[in-house]
């Protein structure tokens, strides 16, 4: 039998199963903790740091923390919100994110977070790094300009043999996520679509598909990211 | 007592005039606007040179050549408040897609090696007349050249966003930013 624990988020008393991922526990209590690298159902990574909250006064990522009795969590302090904004802005300047020409625009979680925080322009200078686009795969495109290295695709996508079809290549500032030639050889259309859907940005695209949903009907055109959790 | 009308100037640097088109999409509110402001240098009224100091300067497009930089600096000198209007002014936009490619490669592709050039340029000239503005090594966001006071993103920025910003500035209210009018595309 599972044990339920009591904890507070921003003063609100919450209940959840002991040991649950804090980000999921908050969701069950209708509280949205913003995140990019976390994806329900796959192991957390804690790489984007956007879900950083204060747990008993100390900062920690809500995706890698398990909830326990009497935890005192703060998520919407001004300092944390400014910190999150800065992380989002850093992601925008670090890559080449040309929203107007991106297939994922309107359905992109990075963009949606920037909308949620009403970021008008990043406070850091743009780096315009030189990045390539991988288009050799028959079904997929990997655009390194847009990749934020959250590792969702590596963690969440496996082929029929249970092997990852994405892997890290290169090192340091040149780090990129590549499509594995062997394990991705015979992927189905459904799996290709799943690859595109698991990517929070437009770094993984299904070939010959894009701009299928008109402006005004896309996921984040009218509904801020997280509003589905908060509305319940 | 009627206040003195605010004076607005606008320009399009390395942009497509889409932001100006979106500005005109404020529709009949333009009648309210001309009650509140007067336009100085702007493509809307075709005034080419500043004839007086302006309160608000609206910049569309980033800086891709030395003429853009010159115009932008003129705007900074002649306007109290500068607004970067649209993705190109804020981050270079689509022209900045060339920023990862060396300038010489861009010019050679455009004038010498491109598939559509063929025999159209038999003397293999890359335009270099001194009257042509010099292209910069990359496309610069406006706020990396001069101080910009406000940013209105979008491609183009929604007409409501432009109206809300201008109205707030002119009458001195806080700007309203409803969720659906702040978009990057």
Interface confidence, given as ipTM, is 0.92
Do the domain assignments include residue B132? no
**Average of pLDDT values for B105-121?**
91
Do the domain assignments include residue B117? no
Return the CATH class of domain A133-206. alpha beta
Q: Which residues of chain B are within 8 Å of residue A98 when distances are taken between CB atoms?
A: 87, 93-94, 96-97
Distances from the Cα of A140 to the Cαs of A40, A137, A189, A193, A207, in angstroms? 23, 5, 10, 9, 5
pLDDT digits (tens, 9 = 90+) for A154-198: 999 999 999 999 999 999 989 999 999 999 999 999 999 999 999
Look at B185 and A106 and tell me if their CB atoms are within 8 Å.
Answer: yes
Q: Which residues of chain A are within 8 Å of residue B153 when distances are taken between CB atoms?
A: 120-121
- The structure tokens 């060396």 sit at B102
pLDDT of residue A231: 80
Q: Is B16's Cβ below 8 Å from some Cβ in A? A: no
pLDDT digits (tens, 9 = 90+) for B39-64: 999 999 999 999 999 999 999 999 99
For A4-76, CATH gives: 3.10.20.740
User: Exposed (0-12), middle (13-18) or buried (19+): which is A205, by Cβ within 10 Å?
Assistant: buried
Do the domain assignments include residue B125? no
Residue B3 scores a pLDDT above 70 = no
Do the domain assignments include residue B107? no
Nearest Cα residue to A108 out of A120, A128, A91, A122? A91
| DSSP-derived 3-state class of residue B63 | strand
**Number of folded domains in chain B?**
1
Whether the Cβ atoms of residue A42 and residue A152 lie closer than 8 Å to each other: yes
**Average of pLDDT values for B131-154?**
97
- Domain-by-domain residue ranges, chain A? 4-76, 133-206
Do the domain assignments include residue B17? yes
Residue A78 scores a pLDDT above 50 = yes
Q: CA of A100: which chain B residue's CA is closest?
A: B185
Do the domain assignments include residue B127? no
User: For residue A208, which phi and psi values (nearest 5 degrees)?
Assistant: 60, 25
**Average of pLDDT values for A86-103?**
96
> Residue A141 contacts by C-beta under 8 Å, 6 or more apart in sequence?
A133, A134, A135, A204, A205, A206, A207
Do the domain assignments include residue B153? yes
Q: Which residues of chain A are within 8 Å of residue B93 when distances are taken between CB atoms?
A: 98, 100
Q: Is B84's Cβ below 8 Å from some Cβ in A? A: yes
Distance (Å) from the alpha carbon of A115 to chain B's nearest alpha carbon: 7
Strand bridging mode A58-61 / A133-134 = unpaired
Long-range contacts of A113-116 (CB under 8 A, 24+ apart): A113/A34, A113/A36, A113/A50, A113/A84, A113/A88, A113/A225, A114/A88, A114/A89, A114/B184, A115/A220, A115/A224, A115/A225, A115/B179, A115/B182, A115/B183, A115/B184, A116/A34, A116/A224, A116/A225, A116/A226
pLDDT of residue A10: 97
pLDDT of residue B18: 97
Q: Is A121's Cβ below 8 Å from some Cβ in B? A: yes
Do the domain assignments include residue B119? no
Q: Which residues of chain B are within 8 Å of residue A130 when distances are taken between CB atoms?
A: 100-101
CATH number of the domain residue B51 falls in: 3.40.50.700
**What pTM did the predictor assign?**
0.94
Distance (Å) from the alpha carbon of A112 to chain B's nearest alpha carbon: 9
**Average of pLDDT values for B148-158?**
97
Residue B2 scores a pLDDT above 80 = no
Q: Is A130's Cβ below 8 Å from some Cβ in B? A: yes
**Average of pLDDT values for A141-150?**
96
Distance (Å) from the alpha carbon of A42 to chain B's nearest alpha carbon: 30
Q: What are B24's two structure tokens?
A: 């005109």
Which residues form the domain of B149?
Answer: 6-97+137-181
pLDDT of residue A1: 67
Residue B150 scores a pLDDT above 60 = yes
Select the residue from A128, A145, A221 to test the B interface by mutation, using most B Cβ atoms within 10 A: A128
Q: What are A120's two structure tokens?
A: 């008008």
């Amino acid at each position: 039998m599972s044990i339920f624990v009591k904890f507070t988020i921003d003063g609100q008393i919450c209940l959840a199963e002991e040991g649950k991922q804090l980000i999921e526990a908050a969701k069950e209590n209708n509280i949205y903790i913003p995140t990019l690298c976390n994806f329900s159902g796959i192991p957390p990574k804690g790489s984007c740091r956007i879900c950083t909250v204060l747990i008993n006064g100390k900062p920690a990522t809500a995706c890698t923390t398990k909830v326990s009795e009497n935890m005192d969590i703060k998520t919407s302090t001004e300092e944390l919100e400014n910190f999150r904004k800065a992380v989002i802005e850093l992601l925008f300047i670090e890559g080449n994110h040309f929203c107007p020409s991106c297939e994922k625009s309107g359905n992109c979680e990075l963009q949606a977070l920037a909308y949620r925080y009403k970021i008008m322009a990043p406070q850091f200078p743009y780096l315009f790094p030189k990045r390539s686009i991988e288009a050799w795969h028959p079904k997929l495109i990997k655009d390194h300009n847009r990749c934020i290295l959250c590792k969702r695709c590596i963690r969440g996508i496996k082929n029929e043999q249970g092997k990852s079809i994405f892997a890290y290549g290169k090192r340091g500032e040149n780090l990129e996520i590549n499509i594995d030639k062997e394990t991705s050889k015979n992927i189905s259309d459904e799996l290709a679509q799943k690859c595109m859907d698991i990517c929070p940005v437009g770094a993984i695209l299904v070939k010959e598909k894009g701009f299928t949903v008109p402006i005004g009907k896309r996921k984040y055109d009218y509904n801020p990211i997280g509003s589905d959790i908060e509305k319940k | 007592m009627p206040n003195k009308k605010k004076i607005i100037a606008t320009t399009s640097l390395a942009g497509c005039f889409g932001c100006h088109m979106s500005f005109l999409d404020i529709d009949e509110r333009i009648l309210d606007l001309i009650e509140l402001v007067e336009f100085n240098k702007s493509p809307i009224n075709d005034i080419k040179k500043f004839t007086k100091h302006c309160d608000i300067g609206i910049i569309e497009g980033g800086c891709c050549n030395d003429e853009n930089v010159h115009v932008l600096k003129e705007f900074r000198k002649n306007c109290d408040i500068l607004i970067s209007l649209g993705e190109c002014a804020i981050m270079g936009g689509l022209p900045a897609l060339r920023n990862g490619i060396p300038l010489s490669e861009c010019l050679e592709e455009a004038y010498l090696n491109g598939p559509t050039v063929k025999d159209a340029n038999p003397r293999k000239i890359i335009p270099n007349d001194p009257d042509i503005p010099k292209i910069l090594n990359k496309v610069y966001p406006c706020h990396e050249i001069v101080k910009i006071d406000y940013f209105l993103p979008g491609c183009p920025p929604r007409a409501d966003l432009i109206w809300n910003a201008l109205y707030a500035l002119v009458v001195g209210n806080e700007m309203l930013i409803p969720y659906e009018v702040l978009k990057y595309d």
